[in-house]
Amino acid sequence: MNSLELTLIRIGFLAVLWLFVIAAVGVIRTDLFGQSSRSSRRRADTVPHPQPPPRVAPPRAKPKPARVSRQMPQQLLVTAGSLAGTSLGLTDQQITIGRAGDATLVLSDDYASTRHARLFPQDGQWLVEDLGSTNGTYLDRQKVTGPTPVPVGVPIRIGKTVLELRR
C-alpha cells in the first residue's frame, strides 16, 4: 500500500459516506414530494384506458390546490375567524359545523347558523353540504347548493369563518 492508494481510499470512503447521506435525504425527499411524480406516472398509464379523463383534471399550468387530490386530506384547518389556527384531524366520520353545542366544530360566529354545514367523506373525497343555513356556505366564491367535493386548500366560507382541508 503506497500513500497515494491510501489517500484515494481515504477520500473515496468520505465520498461514499456522503453519498449515503445524500441518498438518505433523497429517500426523505421522495417521501415528501413523491406523490405528485407518482400520480403523473399513473396518469400516463391510464392514457390507453377507454374512459375519458375526469373533467376536473386541470391543465398542467393550473396552480396546485385546484388539482384533484389523489390522497385523502388529513386535517381541517380554520384559517380565519374567531377559531383561526384550530385544526381538526379528519377520520372517516362526518364533521358538522355550526353554533350548536353538539357540532363537531362549534363556531362562535354571529353569521353562522346553529346547524350550518357538514363535511363528509365519500369515495375518497370530502364533500361539503349546506344544511339550510341562513347566510349560506361558500366554496371559494361559489355558493354551495348540494353536496360538493372540496379540493385540498380551497377555502370554505361560513359566516366570518374560513376553513380549508389540508393534507
Q: Which three cell numbers stand for residue 14?
A: 468520505
Over the window 53 to 92, marking each residue x when it contacts another protein by CB under 8 A and - when it does not, the resulting string is -xxx-----------x-xxx----------------x-xx
Q: How far apart are CA 151 and CA 145, in angstroms?
A: 16
- DSSP letters, 126-162, are EEEEE-S-SS-EEETTEEP-S-EE--TT--EEETTEE
Under the binding rule (CB under 8 A), the answer on residue 18 touching another protein is yes
Least Å distance between CB 80 and another protein? 22
User: Is 1 near another protein (CB under 8 A)?
Assistant: yes
> Do residues 167 and 69 make contact, with C-beta atoms less than 8 angstroms apart?
yes
Binding window for another protein (CB under 8 A); candidates: 16-24, 79-87, 99-107, 155-163: 16-24
What separation in angstroms does the CA of 11 have from each of 6, 17, 23?
A: 9, 10, 18
Which residue's CB is nearer to another protein, number 30 or number 134? 30
One residue of 61, 98, 109, 122 binding another protein per CB under 8 A: 122
In terms of Cα–Cα distance, which of 158, 79, 166 is closest to 111?
158
Of 14 and 110, nearer to another protein (C-beta) is 14
CB of 164 to another protein, least distance (A): 19
- β-pairing verdict for 95-98 and 105-106: parallel
Residues at the site binding another protein, with contacts judged by CB under 8 A: 1, 5-7, 9-14, 16-18, 20-21, 23-25, 27-28, 30-31, 34, 38, 42, 51, 54-56, 68, 70-72, 89, 91-92, 121-125, 149
